[in-house]
Amino acid sequence: MDTDLDRDLLSDLPQSIIESILVKVPLVDAVRTSILSRKWRYKWAAITELVFNDTCLTSGHDKSIISCNLVNFITRCLFLHDGPIHKFELNTSYSPASPDLDQWLLFLSRKDIKELIIDIGEDDWFRAPSCVFFCPKLTHLVLVRCELNPPPNFKGFLCLKHLSLQQVIIPPHDIEVLISSCPLLESLTLSYFDSLELTIRAPNLKYLNLEGEFKDIRLENTPHLIGISVAMYMTDDIAEHFEQCSGCNFDKFLGCVPCLERLIGHIYFTKYLSIGNEQGNFPVTYQNLKFIELYQVSFEDMKELLVVLRLIVSSPNLEELQISSSSITTTTDIYDLEFWERDWPADCTFGKLKMVHMTDFSSLPHEIAFIKFLLGHSPVLEQMIVAPTIYVTDKVVKMLIDLLTFRRASPLATVKFIQEPL
């Protein structure tokens, strides 16, 4: 009679529990469980998530041998696998040959793949085979450093919810068609694109992350977008395009996002929004926008300053504002400090603003006026943090005195002055 000590309790667990254990260890260790006993020989072969990374590599100094061993390991795992594969991730510094990668992707397209992540070799690119576009159950797609050419008969990813394309070569028209052909898309990341003019139509999109050289960005039919992060890189060609473009970039980019909750704009974002933006009535109110973070805002450029003011005035429930200043400007605007009292009514109030954080503060006239404006119109403000740039050490004492003497609408507001060490 078997005793409890003789029973193999682990092997008798349901396959679903064994799989949940195996997917939490590196794949190479999961495969090694096949030597435990006859029962465990093919337990690993039924797991639905396969993640290949540098932990699968053999030790050695010959890169060609290491790469060859990795290719053999992946091929063997795929062809010994039994059942559906819901997730396949390849994230390694070693690049397989195109025929091997094509073979794996073709195999996966027939295995009910739902999540596909390919990020190989920092200096190597690959061309995605057409079979990638015929994975009907795909919900999550991440491609890094590849070339995409959707075939003419591509009907879209009808189940896709997350799309991330980083350093991807794809015709501008095709990328717009790709996005609009994903009716359930909720998260979109586009990184390191060059001179791209892009219109995004995605009725279920919630999160948008853009980084690269964008000439123009238009958001259409994005009513559920709640989170945006944008980093724009400037070239002479794009700067010239900005000067020649017509229309209001603010309206094109933020005119169709009424549910926005979080906005992060990196370098040149406020510059981009300022093109065509004029002071006046603001047609869109962002009732849900509670967090705004803007980088390298030129407070000496009145057009950029108007963008910042339009954002915060149009966000009645804003709770936190973070801004870093930029003293680099080519504007010839004369300081019109009467603008603050002349063009902004005394009853303008930021009724929910609790936290303000300003960095790279240079004590420029409109920076000082902006801080004074916020302090005087934020009745529930709890803390304002001001960190000066390292280049204004001779003005630090005067800045501190000015900040402490400004009227505060909130009796609880504290002003914290932080000077970074040299």
- Those residues with Cβ within 8 angstroms of residue 282's Cβ, 6 or more apart along the chain or in another chain: 310, 313, 314
Instruction: Provide the token pair at 74.
Output: 């992946």
Spatial distance between the Cα atoms of 419 and 106, rounded to a whole number of angstroms: 57
pLDDT at 332: 45
Q: What is the DSSP letter of 393?
A: G
pLDDT at 37: 57
Instruction: Provide the token pair at 66.
Output: 């290491």
CB atoms within 10 A of CB 417: 15
Please identify which residue in the block is written with the tokens 């064994």. Answer: 18
Q: Where are the beta strands (DSSP E) in 298-405?
A: 320-325, 355-361, 383-388
Helical packing angle, 396-405 and 365-376, nearest 10°: 30
Least confident of 158-162, 212-216, 388-392: 388-392
Which has more confidence, 382 or 62? 382
Spatial distance between the Cα atoms of 236 and 292, rounded to a whole number of angstroms: 28
Least confident of 58-62, 201-205, 252-256: 58-62
pLDDT at 277: 77
Beta strands at 115-120 and 227-232: parallel, antiparallel or unpaired: unpaired
Q: What are the pLDDT digits (tens) for 166-175?
A: 999 998 889 9
Spatial distance between the Cα atoms of 64 and 384, rounded to a whole number of angstroms: 56
Of 233, 181, 231, 240, nearest to 211 (Cα)?
A: 231
- The answer to whether 200 and 208 have CB atoms below 8 angstroms apart is yes
Which has more confidence, 411 or 235? 411
CA separation, residue 256 to residues 77, 168, 193 (Å): 47, 27, 23
Mean pLDDT computed over 209-238 = 88
Which has more confidence, 151 or 237? 151
Mean pLDDT computed over 97-126 = 91
CB atoms within 10 A of CB 6: 7
Of 348, 261, 272, nearest to 313 (Cα)?
A: 348
CB atoms within 10 A of CB 366: 22
- Those residues with Cβ within 8 angstroms of residue 62's Cβ, 6 or more apart along the chain or in another chain: none
Q: Which residues pair with 117 in a beta bridge?
A: 89, 142
Mean pLDDT computed over 103-128 = 91
CB atoms within 10 A of CB 96: 23
Q: Is the pLDDT of residue 207 over 90?
A: yes
Spatial distance between the Cα atoms of 25 and 32, rounded to a whole number of angstroms: 11
- The answer to whether 139 and 117 have CB atoms below 8 angstroms apart is no
- Those residues with Cβ within 8 angstroms of residue 146's Cβ, 6 or more apart along the chain or in another chain: 118, 125, 126, 127, 128, 167, 168, 169
- The answer to whether 86 and 49 have CB atoms below 8 angstroms apart is yes
Q: What are the pLDDT digits (tens) for 265-274?
A: 998 899 889 8
Spatial distance between the Cα atoms of 18 and 12, rounded to a whole number of angstroms: 9
Nearest 5 degrees, angle CA 173-CA 175-CA 179?
Answer: 120
- Those residues with Cβ within 8 angstroms of residue 5's Cβ, 6 or more apart along the chain or in another chain: none
Output Rg (C-alpha) for the chain, integer angstroms: 27
- The answer to whether 75 and 97 have CB atoms below 8 angstroms apart is no
Give the pTM: 0.87
